[in-house]
A and B are shown apart, each in its own frame.
Chain A
Amino acid sequence: MSAARIGKLEALLERIGERRNEPRAEAAPAVAPQPSPEPPSSVHRAFSKPVAEPSPAKPVAEPVATAKPSPAKPAQPSPAKPVPPMPEPALELEPVVDLVTPKPVTPAAVPQPPVPQPPVPQPPAVAPKERALTPLEMAAVGATEPDGDSSPTNPPPAMEAIEPKTIPPPPSTDPDPDLVVTTPGATKAPSEATPIATPSASSAGSIAAVVSKPTSHEITFGSLVARSVSLRPR
C-alpha cells in the first residue's frame, strides 16, 4: 500500500472520528460547564440510561458511559430523591372521621325523655299535741287548766292519768287528703301519743270527751306561746 493511500485512509478515519465526536461537540456546551471527571454513581447510572435513550435527536449516538442525564430535562423527578408514598394516609383517616361523627349528637339536639316526677309527699300537718300528766302533776297544774278539764264538775278518774289531747288537724280547708294520709305520724292520734304517766285502759273512755272539746281551735299560735312563757315557778 502506498503511502498516499495510507494517508487517505488516515484522513478518512480521522473524518469518521470527527463525525463520531460531533454529538459530543454539540452537547458539550450544555454539559461542558461541569466536566465530570468522576463516573456517575450507580444510582445515576441506573436512571440515566432510560433518560438518554429516548433522545430522538441522536438515535445513533451510543450511550456513553460518561453520559450524564441531560440537564435539559429538569422536569424529570430526580431519581436520587426517593419520594415518600403520599396521599394514602388520607384514606386511612376516614374511619377516624367516621368515629368522630357523633358530633351532631349533642345533648341539646337529643330530646331528653321527660323524667317522670314522682309524687312528692306532702309534709305532715303539725298540730300541738297535749301530753298526759300524772294525777300528782295535774293536782299542781290543774288549777291552771285552760279547758277546765280538772274542774270539780269534771274530775279525772281517780288516780288515773288524763289522756293526752290532740288538737285536730286543720279541717277540710286543705283539699288534699294525702296531706294527712301519706304522712304517718303527721297528726298523731291520741292512741299514738306517748304519755309520760302510765294510763290505764279504763281511762280510754274519757278520751273522747276530752278531745272533743273545741276550745283548742280558738287558740292562736301567739297565745299558745304566750301562755307557756307566762308561767312562773310556784
Chain B
Amino acid sequence: MTMDAPRFDPAGYYELDVAKGTVRTRRGERVIILSDNVVTALVSAAARSGDLAGLRALGTQVGTEVREVLGDDPKRATPEAVLTEAAAVVATLGLGSLSVDRWGDAIAVRLDDAPELAETALQAFLEALLESMAGRAVACVSAAGSFLVVDPGIADVVRGWAAGGASIATMVGRLGPEEGAA
C-alpha cells in the first residue's frame, strides 16, 4: 500500500475571473463567496424545513473531489491520505478543520471552527462526505462536538443515547462488534 499523500495546493484552488465576476474551483465548479451570516441563515432555514439536500450535495462534492485527487478508490488509500486531502478541501471551502478520532473500532469526526450551522446541517454534510469517500452509507451522531460514525440502521438508537447526555466514550462503550450483537 502506498503512503503517498497528494500535496494540496491551496494557492491554485480558486480561479478568480474579475472580468466575468466568477469564481471557480480547480475542478471548474462555480462557487459563490458569501458571508457566513448569510450562509448560516440560509442553511438554518433549510434545516428547519428538513431540507438538507444542499449540505449533502456539498459533502458529496468534496468527497468526489477527494476521490479524483487521490486517483484511486479512497477506500483503499490510507486514512492519512484521504483525511489530509479531505481536510484540505474542507478548509479551503471555509467549512472548518476536519479531523478524525479513533475510539477503538469506532471513529468520530470533528469539524472544529466550523460555521455556526445547525447541527443537523453539519451532520448531513459529514455523512455525505464520508459516504462519498468510503463508498458506503454511514450515519453521524453528534455528541460533545464530535460526530460518531455508525451504521444508519442503529443511528436512532445511538442518537437516543446522545440525547440522554451520553458522551462519545460512553456511546462507544455501548457498541460492540456485529457478531456479538447478533
Contact = CB atoms under 8 A, between A and B. Distances in A.
Interface of A: 117, 120, 122-131, 133-134, 136-137, 140-141, 143-146, 165, 167, 169-171, 173-174, 176, 179, 196-197, 217-234
Interface stretch (B28-36, B52-60, B76-84): B76-84
B135 interface: yes
Interface of A is mostly: loop
Contacts of A225: 75, 107, 130, 134, 136, 138, 149
Interface string B69-111: 0000111111111111011100110000111111111111000
A226 B3 contact: no
Contacts of B11: 117, 120
Given A137-B169, A219-B79, A225-B136, A231 B87 contact: no
A232 B173 contact: no
Interface of B: 1-5, 7-11, 73-84, 86-88, 91-92, 97-108, 130, 133-138, 148-151, 154, 157-158, 167-170, 172-178, 180-182
Contacts of A141: 103-105, 172-173, 175-176
A222 B74 contact: yes
B140 to A, nearest CB: 10
Contacts, number: 202
Nearest to A168: B80
B83 A221 contact: yes
B134 A137 contact: no
B175 to A, nearest CB: 4
Given A170-B4, A221-B77, 17 more contacts: A120-B11, A123-B8, A123-B91, A126-B84, A129-B100, A130-B101, A144-B176, A170-B84, A196-B169, A217-B78, A225-B130, A227-B107, A228-B106, A228-B107, A231-B151, A232-B178, A233-B158
A231 B136 contact: no
A233 B174 contact: yes
A128 B102 contact: yes
A224 B75 CA distance: 9
B174 A140 contact: yes
Given A144-B104, A174-B5, A229-B138, A126 B178 contact: no
